[in-house]
A and B are shown apart, each in its own frame.
Chain A
């Protein structure tokens, strides 16, 4: 099957003591074999909540996936999976790496054992075999002197190496999908490039599809086949990377692109920043969530949620202006 992941109308909310935060509001996307999908958005737009929901990793009772959401892995309904199937999904079919590798590794467990643990659960290996395979995995992620390093603890490694270990853990069981939640945000710039390169290599090697979560359009541009721009819990623009960069339609996308400092900009030019801030996800939002910050906002934008305009088979935008321009006629 080529379609690995199908997400329909995903709604995720968190019950906090201040109220209910609707972090994800009707997300729709899919992921096919061998491709890299980037989900780009600011912090707080709901992207982490969305991917945690994919493997039902939210902390209940605080977090819940609302009725009417649909998550399908290789056609199977994730939300209907029992415990055994979920365990196989987590780590076995889908691997995940997180933003802060120091906090994401167990400080009292040797890194070799942390990789081996995954192998013992999913590939049912005995301890010795799993440890040997773990060392092999360390070599795959370019960690030198793997036999020696396998005995080390997370705090003895540098940030870049820790992230490599996380990648090793996530890919140890050759999952079909790798979800990388801001994998390079906590790393130095030089290390960032190395890690992304490594991920690309391994993806080719193992044939893994990747969902890359990032707030950095540059990273998305360099590594993804398709990009989804997320804002206030929804995807406002989606398309192939080339399409998005050559023809960004949604005002938020354009603002994001605009605010990236360019290497050839004039010395004295002011850095562009988008005025305003993202809406509070605790309240329900009337109309287009971006309208308060949009220069072209009209009445209809404030009143109802925009429909999706199809710019091409692969390029869609959720914006009234685009809808009007595609369909012709006045707003």
Chain B
């Protein structure tokens, strides 16, 4: 198992390096080479410092080396729009809000999605099944900003129950987490339903029933354990959705997270910020995927031993 983790970790670092390189190339492919341009408007002393630090007058290849070197020392550069603001510090400052929002959304999507999916499978053809199918369809087809708007309108404007924007106590996190979790919930409900239906028809469920296993124990020990495997593979795309969804949700609900700041940076064309945040997102995403792969191997004994389900 440890060998498996180390191998994947090494692989991840290589791909992360590739992603950073590609991002660097893309940022420097922007017409007008703003990376160098904006610095030109700075007061002479600051400009000189910038040039020295980032080698902005040197060829792109050298700048790349400097950037990578800085990165290895934990330096992601400074904001182009607000010189002096350290990119890394900004990211870390806004990370907690995004983390909280993201984790809550994942939790809601996962727990409710799985529960709804299992309920639908056991009540196949009856009304709970149809309700879940409709929820799953809507969650996938209705964009999260539409849902966010609806939630804001219904629960903040019409019934002044929850705050529409801002970030403070738990109440501020409810609507945004719900809006962000919608697509994950829909995907999970759908896959758990399909997977549970498949598992329920398997012979080993009959064995368990013949042993006298109670319904609750049947679901927990036999159905969920086997049905959840396909769902785990979907966690990667789901996390990507939530990461990206946070851009819009944080903007709509005025939450001080990385997402809303990423959107601001794009608006400001603050390319060092954009690059720093992109690398951050890529790293977080890849780490999440790695954790999911490890979880998958931990849950399915067949993967651990054979590397696949065969």
Contact = CB atoms under 8 A, between A and B. Distances in A.
Q: Do chains A and B touch in the complex (CB under 8 A)?
A: yes
Interface of A: 55, 57, 86-92, 95-96, 98, 100, 103-109, 117-118, 121-122, 153, 155-156, 166, 169
Interface residues of B, number: 23
A122 B302 CA distance: 30
Contacts of B221: 106, 109, 117
B75 interface: no
For A92, A117, A122, A166, which residue has the most chain B Cβ atoms within 10 angstroms? Answer: A117
A88 B212 contact: yes
Given A57-B209, A88-B212, A90-B209, A103 B305 contact: no
A106 B212 contact: no
B96 interface: no
Nearest to A179: B210
B206 A117 contact: no
A105 B210 contact: no
Given A105-B207, A153-B302, 13 more contacts: A87-B212, A91-B211, A92-B212, A98-B207, A104-B207, A106-B204, A106-B225, A107-B302, A108-B300, A108-B301, A109-B221, A117-B217, A153-B301
Interface string B206-225: 11111111100100011001
A90 B207 contact: no
A57 B209 CA distance: 7
B222 A106 contact: yes
A89 B207 contact: no
A211 to B, nearest CB: 13
Nearest to B207: A104
Interface in B282-305: 299-302, 305
Nearest to A96: B210
A90 B210 contact: yes
A201 B301 CA distance: 33
A121 B226 contact: no
A121 B301 contact: no
Contact of B225 (A95, A104, A109, A169): A109
Given A90-B210, A91-B210, A166-B207, A108 B305 contact: no
